[in-house]
Amino acid sequence: MSRKKFGFWSIVLLTINSIIGTGIFLSPQGVIATAGTLTPLIYIAAAIFAGVLAMVFASAAKYVNKNGAGYAYAKAAFGNNIGLYVGITRFVSAAIAWGVMGTAVVRTTLSIFVGASNVTTSMITLGFIVLMSVLLVINLLGNHIVQIMNNVSTIGKISALVVAISAGFIGFLLTGTSHFGEVRDLVPGSTSMDLSLFVAAVIAAFYAFTGFESVASATSEMENPEANLPKAIPLAMGIIALIYIGVVSSAMIANPQAILNSEEVVVLASAFDHPLIKQIIVYGSLVSMFGINIAASFSTPRVFQAMAQENQIPQSLAKENSKGIPVLSFVVTALLAVVIPMAFQYDMKGIMVISSISRFVQFIVVPMGVIAFYYGKAKNEHEVLKTARKNFVMDVIIPIIGLCMVVLLLVKFDWVGQFSMKDAQGVQTLNMYAISAMVVGYVLLPFAGILYTKTLSK
């Protein structure tokens, strides 16, 4: 009996579910505090940046239809060693991202039901274990159940965000009152941002768009991926951009001061006074966070599985059960997703920064890989589909634009500020958790992987 695979619309919903999670519910406060009235523009800029990179990944998917997404593209374009490096760093970044999302849903759930001040580290750890166990059970039930859970959670989170959009704009139409202009007084100087502040704000908003790069990690579980992915990913990104820009604009029209001063668990809910609307947004955020954990539990273990299938890490990690689930890869990935947040003492800001920045290796390599595919210069040309329809704009111009945008963000990014933190006395010190995570994930693990493959080849 053949397994049920993800069709076109299920891929669209998987993409949406892989992206809309914690960011739009929890991050508007920081973006508004930095960008003020320019916040919608910041989200537009982040949407353009993410949309360009999403189109690059969509183009790569038509050339290579193997599991692993960025790993598979890098390996095909530049050979086994670069592929392995991208694969390991991508696995680390994906596991960190899963840890961020797991932390968010557990902390948010506990804060809602027992109060934020009563949440302890042991409670979060226990909640994490329960969450991972539930996700394992869902995956063990097979792709059909994963699809149903994915589709339901996606529709639920979109519905909650549509309610937030409607509440702000309908309130404005009924009363004629908008508080949008008040942001100028609340965030003075934001209208004359320098480039560094603009970049910092865009990266903060960009976090809410990340996840598109993981959608193609399980192409073997999708129908006609080389044709469906290049259409599904841009469509989903367009829908998400419209929702995000609508949400932040609506919240700023309704009550920007409440968002800036919010101590609520779900910051977005602070903008609205009506208790029913607040409850819909709060519980919608829980559905959203749980849904994105389902998407992560489906996609992330397949990165390890893809490398094992290529014999670049132990092949035992590629083994599937009767439902097509790589159980050992799931367990290893889930352990890393739990351990990293624990190492950061569940500090959301610290792991969100690492999660965002750790993705940029593939954002540099994949655009160059697409250009190599277009010109027939791939190192592992036998892994590239000969039937791919080449397009100069999508396969050369868009990747070059994406590369330029990535380089600009990396050059202007406040590396020192993001890899330091204040101690109990308020003194700025190095964030050794963040630095250690980057050294292990980007130096030690890739080096160990390359040594392993060299040992096998002898």
Mean pLDDT along residues 250-256: 90
**One-letter amino acid of 185:** D
Mean pLDDT along residues 40-52: 88
The reported pLDDT for the residue numbered 457 is 64
Nearest C-alpha neighbor of 240 from the set 438, 51, 42, 447: 51
Nearest C-alpha neighbor of 373 from the set 51, 49, 87, 78: 78
pLDDT of 366 higher than 90: yes
Alpha helices by DSSP H, listed for 310-431, are 327-343, 348-357, 360-374, 392, 398-412, 415-418
- Encoded tokens for 295: 């998407």
pLDDT of 371 higher than 90: yes
Mean of per-residue pLDDT scores for the chain: 83
pLDDT tens digits, 122-135: 888 888 889 988 98
CA distance 6 to 266: 32
Mean pLDDT along residues 312-335: 84
Q: Is the dihedral of CA 88, 327, 298, 104 positive or negative?
A: negative
Domain ranges of the chain: 8-418
The reported pLDDT for the residue numbered 375 is 95
pLDDT of 352 higher than 80: no
Mean pLDDT along residues 435-449: 78
Confidence label for 369 from pLDDT (cuts 50, 70 and 90): very high
The reported pLDDT for the residue numbered 354 is 58
CA distance 55 to 187: 34
Nearest C-alpha neighbor of 66 from the set 409, 318, 249, 334: 318
pLDDT tens digits, 61-76: 899 988 888 889 999 9
Rg of the chain over CA atoms, in angstroms?
A: 21
Which H or E run includes 422?
A: strand 420-422
Confidence label for 1 from pLDDT (cuts 50, 70 and 90): very low
| Full DSSP string of 416-437 | HHHTEEE-TTS-EEE-HHHHHH
CA distance 274 to 6: 39
The reported pLDDT for the residue numbered 423 is 64
- Residue 220 DSSP code: G
pLDDT tens digits, 257-295: 888 888 777 888 888 888 899 889 888 888 888 888 888
Phi–psi pair at 276, nearest 5 degrees: -65, -45
CA distance 362 to 373: 16
Name 182's Cβ contacts closer than 8 Å, sequence gap at least 6: 256, 257
What's the pTM? 0.81
Give the architecture (CATH level 2) of 8-418.
Up-down Bundle (1.20)
Max avg pLDDT among 66-75, 227-236, 365-374, 434-443? 365-374
Q: Is the dihedral of CA 232, 233, 236, 242 positive or negative?
A: negative
pLDDT of 350 higher than 70: no
The reported pLDDT for the residue numbered 355 is 60
CA distance 396 to 113: 51
Pairwise pLDDT comparison (437 vs 232), residue with the higher score: 232
Nearest C-alpha neighbor of 259 from the set 31, 416, 419, 75: 31
**One-letter amino acid of 279:** Q
